[in-house]
Chains A and B, each alone.
Chain A
Amino acid sequence: MSRGAAGTDLGARAAGGAAWVAGVPQRLNLWLFTEVPLARIGLLRIAVFAFVVVDVLKLHTSGHFHGAADPVWYEPLVVGELLGIPAATPLLVELLKWGSVAFALAAMSGRFPRTLGWATAICWSWYQYVAFAYGKVDHDRADFLVALFLLPTVGLAHLSDRRRSEAAGFALRAVQLAAIATYFLSAIAKIRFGGWDWVNSATMVRAVVRRGTPLSEWMLDVPFLLHAAQWGLFSAELASPLIFFLSERWRRRMVAAWYLFHVATYAGITIAFWPHLVMMLAFLPLEQYRDRGVERWRRWRVSPGASRSSPG
Chain B
Amino acid sequence: MSSGTTAPPTGSPGRGPGPSSRPGPSPRPGPSSGIDPSPHRVRLRRRGRAWRAALVCLLTVGYVSGSLVGDDHWWPLGPWRMFSTSTSPNAAVTVSALQVQVAGDPAWVDTGLNPPNVGLNRAEVEGRQNQILADPAMLATLAEAHARLDPDDEPWTGVRLVRRSTVLENRVPTGETRERVVAEWTADGGGVVVQQ
Contacts and interface: CB of A to CB of B under 8 A. Distances in A.
Interface of A: 29, 32-33, 35, 38-39, 61-62, 64-70, 72-73, 77-79, 90, 114, 125, 129, 132, 134-142, 145-146, 153-156, 158-168, 170, 174, 177-178, 181-182, 185-186, 188-190, 192-195, 197-198, 201-207, 209-210, 220-221, 223, 226-227
A205 B48 contact: no
Contacts of B119: 65-70, 73
A67 B144 CA distance: 12
Contacts of A163: 8, 12-13, 20, 39-42
A186 B41 contact: no
30 contacts: A35-B42, A62-B121, A65-B149, A66-B119, A69-B118, A73-B124, A77-B72, A79-B75, A135-B125, A136-B124, A139-B78, A139-B82, A159-B16, A160-B12, A163-B8, A163-B13, A174-B59, A185-B63, A185-B64, A185-B80, A188-B80, A189-B84, A192-B68, A198-B86, A202-B86, A202-B171, A203-B86, A220-B173, A223-B170, A223-B171
A201 B87 CA distance: 5
Contact of B85 (A129, A159, A194): A194
Nearest to B63: A181
Interface of B: 1, 3-5, 7-8, 12-21, 39-44, 48-49, 52-53, 55-56, 59, 63-64, 67-68, 72-89, 91, 93, 95, 115-116, 118-121, 123-125, 127-128, 138, 141, 144-145, 148-149, 166, 168, 170-173
Q: Is the interface of A mostly helix, strand, loop or mixed?
A: helix
B103 to A, nearest CB: 21
Nearest to B144: A70
A239 B7 CA distance: 38
Given A65-B119, A186-B84, A198-B84, A161 B20 contact: yes
Contacts of B68: 188, 192
A78 B70 CA distance: 11
Contacts of B89: 201-202, 205, 223
A203 B73 CA distance: 23
A166 B42 contact: yes
Contact of A160 (B16, B40, B63, B141): B16
Contacts of B82: 138-140, 186
Given A62-B121, A162-B14, A155 B5 contact: yes
Given A72-B138, A160-B16, A163-B40, 12 more contacts: A32-B56, A66-B115, A72-B141, A90-B148, A114-B3, A132-B72, A136-B124, A153-B3, A162-B12, A165-B41, A201-B86, A203-B83
Contacts of A192: 67-68, 79, 81, 84
Contacts of B121: 62, 136
B18 A158 contact: yes
A221 B78 contact: no
A69 B120 contact: yes
B88 A201 contact: yes
User: Which residue, B59, B80, B121, B125, has most C-beta atoms of chain A within 10 A?
Assistant: B80
A162 B171 contact: no
Given A165-B42, A192-B84, A70 B172 contact: no
Contacts of A207: 83
B75 A137 contact: yes
Contacts of B4: 167
B79 A33 contact: no
Contacts of B141: 69-70, 72-73
